[in-house]
Chain A
Amino acid sequence: MSALTNIFSVVDDRMNPIVVKELRQAVAGKFVASVLMLFLAVQLATLGLFLMLDDSAGAAGNFEAGRTVFMVLSAILLGTCLLFVPAYAAIRLAAERSGTQVDLLYVTTIRPRSIIWGKFASAMMVTVLIYSACLPFLSLTYLLRGIDLPTIFTLLGIDFLIVSASNMFAIFLACIPANRVLKSMLALVGLGTLITVFSMTIGMTSSLIFYSGGIGASDFWQGMAVFTVLTIALTGLMYVISVAMVSPPSSNRALIVRVYLTAAWLVIGGYMFIWSRIITDHAPVIAWVILTVCIGCVAILASVSERDAWGARLRGMIPRNFLLRRLAFVFYSGAAGGVAWIVILVAATGTLAWWWGTTFSSYSNHHDLNECLDLCIPMALYFFAYAMTAMMLRRRLMRRLITPNNTYALTLILMAIGTILPLTIGWIVSGKTFYRMPSEYYLTMPFVMFVNDHVRQTAWWFGSVWAGGILVMSLPWFFARARQFQPLPSTPAPVEPSEPANPEPDSPDA
């Protein structure tokens, strides 16, 4: 008994405090209990009504009943898990973020990653609770025939993966620092996205059990593998961005995001290259290039909005070793390092994809890979040029008007001006519509390379000159930042107090 108590005690101490708190609140509150009761009642009523009203249910030769009931029950399950659980997690977190509660957590020894992990884990536990209440009903559909147990459990697994990503998505939205109006808009965006995900998942489930070859089809598991990797990667990305968002501004917020994205870029890249080799097709590499360039375009907006100088807290973490310090410069919070990291990542992607295309030029869609590079690289150059121009304008002309963390907004404004103004001038001067006016008028549009082949070549040239020019002009700033990236002068650590408050506190991060 004592040993058992000790084990429970150790487990209790190891549990994330946020999970304990959230689950206590869930048990004490009415929301989760009400949703669970309602969910069970709807499941029971659906199954009962179907069995009573459908005379053919269970009849020999009827293979539709099991599938139909499964579809309805899984829709109820998915609806509950996709709408109620993420909403519950997001509303709680957003409410706490609006007050000083997160501040209070920061003065404890708990870390931001534990806060987000705790929120996610508690949302997942509520999901598991709802799943466990639903499983007996779903298993019953097997007895009604038309669907086998492997299919039931595979589909439930897919749904669980989607619900996990949705929970993380809701937490991610709740972490975005926003005022009341923006929060309402984010809530609407979140609701719209979850409804879309719900519809798509139901559509996929339906086509899988009614129309396609089911889980036994040859391409099902291949597709599932890609889907699983991408969903997990996306969930992880939302997790690290959420951690960065709830971290104090003075902390090294970018580190976790850049390390994660670099690792994901390597893992997914490796996976895609191997897959491409196996199927002798460039499609996986094309997907990897598009994904990397899109992330790079978004990341550069975030990077140019980062701090320009490093505070003592971050400088305390800078390695003293020269090589490690150069590496840390790219990964630590800071605008210059962030820009360098994106340039390296996108340049490496382009180079690797080009090399792959040259080496395996016999693949049937070799042309598609070249076209993908012709579209993606100019787009990356345009985003780089716009972001760096915005940063230079802010530094040199608008220092007092725009704070560094709003550089992304200036970039977007410049992009809007670059899209609308030349087009308007072109329309006034030439009197022609968009498709008929000379390409010079819309060469500053960030997505001009998608217009036609001829413009794409001009965009390559224009983007390269602009990005190259702004890069050269920014080099003095970049090198100055690199020189300033120095650790704090070493100071001896103070002697620990003779009676600390908690001499050896247990880690709450477990």
Chain B
Amino acid sequence: MKVEVNNLKRHFGTTRAVDDITFSFESGQIFGFVGPNGAGKTTTMRILATLDEPTAGDATINGHSVVERPEHARRMIGYMPDNLPVHRDISVHEYLDFFARAYGIGSPKRQQVVESVEEFTNLMGIREKMLNALSKGMKQRVSLARALVHDPPLLIMDEPAAGLDPRARVELRELLKVLAQQGKAILISSHILTELAEICDGAVIIEKGRILRAGTMHNISHGGDAPTHRTMIIRNYGSNEELCKALLEMPHVEAARLVGPSVEADVAGDEETCCDLLAELLRRNFRIAEFHQRKADLEELFMTITSGEVQ
């Protein structure tokens, strides 16, 4: 299953909330949607969820246009908005049962579906609790369960981790990983960029309705091209100062500095250059305990490439 967003535009009067954006992702991928407030994330997600209509362009889910055939697309979408359910006088189980009915799932399948979703999202223990008596983390789980109740191949999640405590965040992250392993495509927007960096296979960085960067996390952090520079984190089982000096003498190493218990070295070259560097260090009898490339810091990248302007 493939989700393709093609030249999508959404204008509100003179404001261009979404301005010609194009990206795609597939089953089994968790795709991050990053941008400052007012960047057009929620508008794009609402269009994908068939709740809004674009001014121009289209988005397809497995070939079904969300604009031309919203009824078909809806069956394939699980949408989790940033607001939480506020229904009064209804239990978790009844709420999920209601949505299962709304999706047209007949009995006895409905009972099984609701129970399996409750089990997956760990709601069995609170299924008889009233919705308005739940904590934010629990409501978020109910919201996820609701989005999953018709087993959609695509999940669209708008700020699902907002306001959650660390434990709830970790639990949500684990659930998303399992869902991706099950083959679901997941589009997730979040302000907690470190979280996204850990679980996302790819991301789109958007500002003022326009895409600034898109692609895999690796490509994004290197501007989309094959990286020519990388930062290596090296820890010596011994003196790191000697290691630092030795690194600075080597070709391709542009800079080296002590950072905590490790040394950070800026290397000009590809993976092969890094392999050569490690071999040279070992040849010089350094006892290397740690040698890896520093992961793309989405937060840093985000701050670098966005200006923070709001329309």
Residue B68 at the A interface, CB < 8 A? yes
Q: How far does the Cβ of B249 sit from chain A's closest Cβ, in whole Å?
A: 59
- Interface residue stretch chosen among A99-107, A121-129, A177-185, A345-353: A99-107
Most buried by A among B74, B106, B108: B106
Given that A103-B51, A104-B81 are contacting pairs, would A313 and B67 also be in contact in the complex, using a CB cutoff of 8 Å? Answer: yes
Name which residue of chain A comes closest to B13, CB basis. Answer: A403
Q: How far is the CA of A20 from the CA of B107 in the complex (A)?
A: 14
- Interface residue stretch chosen among A141-149, A162-170, A191-199, A487-495: A487-495
Residue A21 at the B interface, CB < 8 A? yes
**Is there contact, CB below 8 Å, between B83 and A250?**
no
Residues of chain B within 8 A (CB-CB) of A497 are 1, 62, 76, 153
Residue B139 at the A interface, CB < 8 A? no
Given that A21-B98, A109-B75, A497-B62 are contacting pairs, would A312 and B68 also be in contact in the complex, using a CB cutoff of 8 Å? Answer: yes
Name which residue of chain B comes closest to A249, CB basis. Answer: B53
A: number of interface residues (CB 8 Å): 47
Residues of chain B within 8 A (CB-CB) of A103 are 46, 51, 81
Secondary structure dominating the interface of A: loop
Q: How far does the Cβ of B148 sit from chain A's closest Cβ, in whole Å?
A: 10
Given that A9-B107, A101-B85, A250-B53 are contacting pairs, would A28 and B91 also be in contact in the complex, using a CB cutoff of 8 Å? Answer: yes
Residue A38 at the B interface, CB < 8 A? no
Q: How far does the Cβ of A307 sit from chain B's closest Cβ, in whole Å?
A: 10
Q: How far does the Cβ of B64 sit from chain A's closest Cβ, in whole Å?
A: 6
Most buried by B among A12, A109, A495: A109
Cross-chain contact of B152 among A17, A400, A501 (Cβ < 8 A)? A501
Given that A107-B49, A108-B99 are contacting pairs, would A24 and B94 also be in contact in the complex, using a CB cutoff of 8 Å? Answer: yes
Q: How far is the CA of A505 from the CA of B68 in the complex (A)?
A: 21
**Is there contact, CB below 8 Å, between A107 and B74?**
yes
Name which residue of chain A comes closest to B64, CB basis. Answer: A494
Q: How far is the CA of A26 from the CA of B74 in the complex (A)?
A: 29
Given that A107-B74, A107-B79 are contacting pairs, would A29 and B152 also be in contact in the complex, using a CB cutoff of 8 Å? Answer: no
Given that A109-B102, A248-B51 are contacting pairs, would A100 and B81 also be in contact in the complex, using a CB cutoff of 8 Å? Answer: yes
Residue A359 at the B interface, CB < 8 A? no
Residue A13 at the B interface, CB < 8 A? yes
Residue A484 at the B interface, CB < 8 A? no
Q: How far is the CA of A123 from the CA of B20 in the complex (A)?
A: 46
**Is there contact, CB below 8 Å, between B14 and A28?**
no
Residues of chain A within 8 A (CB-CB) of B88 are 25, 29, 95
Residues of chain B within 8 A (CB-CB) of A313 are 53, 67-68, 70
Q: How far is the CA of A20 from the CA of B62 in the complex (A)?
A: 33
Q: How far does the Cβ of B53 sit from chain A's closest Cβ, in whole Å?
A: 3
Residue B187 at the A interface, CB < 8 A? no
Residues of chain A within 8 A (CB-CB) of B266 are none
Residues of chain A within 8 A (CB-CB) of B69 are 316, 493
Residues of chain B within 8 A (CB-CB) of A100 are 81, 83
**Is there contact, CB below 8 Å, between A21 and B90?**
yes
Given that A24-B90, A25-B88, A501-B152 are contacting pairs, would A108 and B51 also be in contact in the complex, using a CB cutoff of 8 Å? Answer: no
Residues of chain B within 8 A (CB-CB) of A508 are 101-104
Cross-chain contact of B90 among A13, A25, A488, A505 (Cβ < 8 A)? A25
Name which residue of chain A comes closest to B183, CB basis. Answer: A499
A1-40 interface (Cβ within 8 A of B): 9, 12-13, 15, 17, 20-21, 24-26, 28-29
Q: How far is the CA of A183 from the CA of B68 in the complex (A)?
A: 34
Residue B63 at the A interface, CB < 8 A? yes
Q: How far is the CA of A490 from the CA of B85 in the complex (A)?
A: 39
Residue A507 at the B interface, CB < 8 A? yes
15 sampled A-B residue pairs with Cβ under 8 A: A20-B98, A25-B87, A28-B89, A28-B91, A95-B86, A96-B87, A99-B83, A103-B51, A108-B74, A109-B104, A312-B58, A316-B69, A403-B13, A491-B65, A501-B75
Top 8 closest pairs, chain A to chain B, by CB: A494-B63, A505-B104, A250-B53, A17-B101, A29-B89, A108-B102, A25-B89, A28-B89
Having A312-B65, A316-B68, A497-B62, one finds 4 other A-B pairs with CB under 8 Å, namely: A24-B89, A99-B83, A108-B150, A502-B103
